[in-house]
A and B are shown apart, each in its own frame.
Chain A
């Protein structure tokens, strides 16, 4: 079974530029998550989708971050404009459903904002 796919794996941009990340979850997984992991910390949720609807985006900085999950499969996360503090690893995860199921993580995208 294929795992969660993410691209790109690495990205370096200057502050105020925009960037987009892509995620393809495990086939059949209804729930998709985007987490931000700053160096030395545990991942923190940015947004959670159930199929193509948003379940939780309370910690998403909506003035600069946006995300969508068209057709309930692939998802993209965008940052515009980027700030230095956005430098982090962006992790995508998926689970079969919401209630207590284990989440499977992709390899992440390491973003460096200079």
Chain B
């Protein structure tokens, strides 16, 4: 069975702090895909990143970076120098090669105060 666990329910930081959102996944597939989505208060899910199981290179996009480690089945997301606009619910998700729909974690609510 596939499963995504986001153990952090809520995180509160002050602007300019760095914050890491944890994601642990379970799958028996050798080929799979991992995703992060952002859901701001407006409610629309915004795609942030996709990573396939054969690409363990870390990725950086501006203030965002992702650390994928197959050895620990983790795909963690770090926001550097957080801003108030980063306040949202962040979801980690998993799908397999056959193209199943996304299996989402329960989400982590990030609150950034000024």
Residues of A in contact with B (beta carbons under 8 Å apart): 31, 33, 35, 40-45, 48, 55-56, 89, 91, 93, 97-108, 110
Contacts and interface: CB of A to CB of B under 8 A. Distances in A.
A33 B91 contact: no
Given A89-B43, A105-B44, A107-B43, A99 B106 contact: no
Given A48-B101, A99-B97, A100-B99, A42 B107 contact: yes
Nearest to B47: A102
Q: How large is the interface on B (under 10, 10 to 19, 20 to 34, 35 or more residues)?
A: 20 to 34
B106 A100 contact: no
A45 B37 CA distance: 16
Given A91-B45, A100-B33, A44 B104 contact: yes
B87 to A, nearest CB: 17
Interface of B: 4, 33, 35, 37, 42-47, 50, 52, 91, 93, 95, 97-102, 104-107
Contacts of B37: 105
B50 A102 contact: yes
B43 A45 contact: no
Given A42-B91, A107-B42, 15 more contacts: A42-B104, A43-B102, A43-B104, A45-B102, A98-B98, A99-B99, A100-B95, A100-B97, A101-B50, A102-B47, A104-B47, A107-B43, A108-B43, A108-B44, A110-B43
Q: Give the residue among A40, A42, A91, A107 with the most B Cβ atoms within 10 A.
A: A42
